[in-house]
Amino acid sequence: MTQPKARTDLRVSKQEESGQVYYVITAPDTGKYVRLREPEYIILKSLDGHRMPDEICAIVCDETGIELTPSAIEAFTGQLGKFHFLESSDSTDKIEIPEREIDKKKQSLFFLRFRAFNPEKLVNWLYSKLRFVFSPVFLIFSLIPIGIGFYILMTIPNSIPYSAIDILRLSTIIVFVAALFVVIVVHEFAHAIVCRRYGGRVTEMGFLLIYFQPAFYCNLSDSYMFPKKSHRIYTILAGMYFQILLGSFSLILWRIVKLETPLSDLLFVIVVVSFGTLVFNLNPLLKLDGYYFLTDITGIPNLRYKAFSYLKRLLLKFTLGIETSYPDVSPGERRIYIAYSIAAIVYTAILMIYLGSMLFTVLLDKWGGTGFLLFLAILAAIFGKPLRRLVKDIGKAVREDTVSKISRKRTAIWSILLVALILVLTFVRTELRVSSQARLSPIESFTILMPEQNVIKSLYFAGGERQSRNERVCQLTSKDFSVFKLEPLVENGAVVRKGDTLLSVSSNLYKGQLAQVDPELNKARAELKLLLSDPKSAEIAKAAAEIDKAKYRRRRAANEFVQAEGMYKKGLIPRDAWDKARTERDVAEKQVQIAESKYKLLKSGPKAEEISVLESEIERLEAQKSYLLDQIDASTFVAPFGGIVSTNRRPGEILSLQRTDTVEVKILVPEEDLDVVKIGQPVALKVTSYPAMSFKGQVVNIQESVAENGRTSIFTAISVLPNPDGLLRSGMSGYAKIYCGKLSLGSKLIRSIMRFFRVEFWAWW
């Protein structure tokens, strides 16, 4: 019977890692690299096509002292056959390897690789032309532009003349593709040339899709054969190093050339792509440069596969008590496996949830129910194979370990825990809380502002349970008169009581008109009185004397006005004094007219139509006087409540009064929580200024108005908090919790799950 025989064209590289000797084996046509320990390598060398398994066991025992069984030799030989490291039954023929067989096994929707071309000849030519880059002189001089580039990068972030929108504008398809092509070529060929430098072959370049994120790759598998770890690390770092060098050169040139030119835009996009993709490439949780650098540093090839295999073994042991076979690992490797697998799972979960939510939104918005079915199909395509593989592995582990070996005690413990969980979800009740952002505003406010010239407006707002708003407008001037004077009676920060005067507006317009209306009204009333009574000689004589007195006052007022006018023209008195003198002159003239009318009325007898006219005139004058008194009263603003005054807060605002003993809290409530938020429920608030303090209140109002926040409708719940110490101020922000009553844990869980489903789901079908 012919025994297995190792291929004669296998390449072997002896390496040492942490005091342990390893042998890296590969065959030219497989693209598969395997790292063997000393006993495994002895077995491989012993496969000459004639030795029996027991003979190989003896050889291994003689050379290493390790005793093996023939079945172990046969199992190991079977693995070598899967790697195509053995010859066929005809020793002159190699096993036929289906094209890209290994690639197909690795392919998944999470990791798609598309081979582009074989760059080996081009790499050899470039290496012959660029050998100088491996000299110490080039390394030293290349650090200079890198240092300058990083200095520029750190010193001008605030002076970059591009915003994010500008960068998107600059990055048109042509410019972006050109920049990306330049960076990729430099990065990937840097890997290849350094790999060629240390004796490796690069026979494949192509495109990757990792978790639906585009990337490019250069197959550096031949670097596994490098005896020195430093050479493998240099090969990995070469791409990132020359990418940084390219980005630094582009940044320096960008600072030199004129801005807003095609060359400047291209250089800046190259800088963005070079340093932006560097962060992505350094991520060790994706199988890019950062990952391979980590595997070389730790000395653990296939780190991702080994870490997930080890974690799966731990989970099977912990959950089902199944012991699966796994190579012995050191405590250091164990810690690395656990840390890496957990970090990779968390990263993958976050990334998949983010990408999945975007895809879910796009599909549902575009196709509704059909999009939902398409999304489910995509999930099945992505996760179907991994789930089937997991079930298969669990079944295999159970079969190999046999169900009878599964700890009955462990099964009972899990059953008890499951029952306990159901009981807890059913009977344990906890508070249902709606948490949201909150902002503080005064419970009452009174604002005086000047929205436009010669107009003063007052706004009164009362919040809390009954929201009310009152507005009053005072017109200060007319087309005939435009001089007025604001006289605030309080200062910024002053504490006032209810009824205190906050602001008075003095204007000669209404006062002068009132001074003219009063004599006219008195005259009309007197004339009416005379018409209704018989005149006497004494009254006539008295009326004549009043005419003389009125004329005397008129002459004096006229003289005073002439003097005031002369002084006003010379700038010796203000316009207010001139206005006052003019008003007194006009009033004196009216008084003469009134006295003369009274005298004539006494001399003549009353007529019915005269009485009617006077009564109408009296009504008109009384209405005009009432209007003027209302306007004068509106020019005085008093505090409707006690509080603190603030001035010059916003453009057009004269002053604002706020009540401080109580504050109103506006809590944003999403539409999906409106079913549980009710008036009277307790509220707890923490504000940014006092994170260690909690303020208590309750919901007193739920506003009907709604605001749009993206795709969610937002309502506002109003709470009132006492503020006797004045710690809370208007404009403060914080986080509030509304306590909506107790629910079982199961009900809360179901409620949380149901929030993920759209209410229009039923309308899709």
Q: Which pLDDT score, from 0 to 100, does residue 169 have?
A: 59
Q: Which pLDDT score, from 0 to 100, does residue 97 have?
A: 43
Per residue in 535-590, pLDDT (tens digit) is 555 677 777 788 888 888 888 888 888 888 888 787 778 877 888 888 888 888 88
Q: Which pLDDT score, from 0 to 100, does residue 685 have?
A: 92
Locus of tokens 């065959």: 27
Q: Which pLDDT score, from 0 to 100, does residue 533 have?
A: 63
Q: Are 437 and 733 in contact (CB under 8 A)?
A: yes
Q: Walk along the chain (765 residues) in steps of 10 and give the mean pLDDT of each run.
A: 82 82 84 85 87 87 86 87 76 42 52 81 91 89 91 72 56 74 90 91 82 74 87 91 92 85 82 85 86 87 86 77 67 88 89 81 75 82 77 66 55 81 87 88 84 78 82 63 54 80 67 74 75 62 80 86 83 80 85 80 62 75 76 72 74 80 88 85 90 89 68 81 85 90 84 63 54
Per residue in 158-211, pLDDT (tens digit) is 556 665 555 555 556 677 778 888 888 899 999 999 999 998 888 888 887 766
Sheet with strand 205-210: strands edge to edge: 111-117, 205-210, 213-218
Q: Is 84 left (phi over 0), alpha (psi -120 to 50) or beta?
A: left
Distance CA 70, CA 4 (A): 13
Per-residue DSSP letters for 310-342? HHHHHHHHHHH----------HHHHHHHHHHHH
Q: Which pLDDT score, from 0 to 100, does residue 227 have?
A: 87
Q: Which pLDDT score, from 0 to 100, does residue 320 have?
A: 65
Q: Which pLDDT score, from 0 to 100, does residue 110 have?
A: 62
| Amino acid making up residue 573 | I
Contacts of residue 395, defined as CB under 8 A and 6 or more positions apart, other chains included, come to none
Number of C-alpha atoms within 13 angstroms, CB side, residue 484? Answer: 23
Please give the structure tokens belonging to residue 626. 């009432």
Q: Which pLDDT score, from 0 to 100, does residue 37 have?
A: 86
Locus of tokens 């070529």: 185
Number of helices (H), then strands (E), belonging to the chain: the values are 20, 22
Which of 577, 594, 595, 583 has the alpha carbon at shortest distance from 558?
A: 583
Distance CA 694, CA 681 (A): 16
- C-alpha radius of gyration, the chain, whole number: 47
Please give the structure tokens belonging to residue 734. 């914080």
| Amino acid making up residue 464 | G
Q: Which pLDDT score, from 0 to 100, does residue 98 have?
A: 41
Please give the structure tokens belonging to residue 579. 């206005």
Sheet with strand 485-488: strands edge to edge: 485-488, 501-506, 636-638
Q: DSSP character for 481? A: B
Burial class (CB in 10 A: 0-12, 13-18, 19+), 752: exposed
Q: Which pLDDT score, from 0 to 100, does residue 402 have?
A: 46
Distance CA 489, CA 491 (A): 7
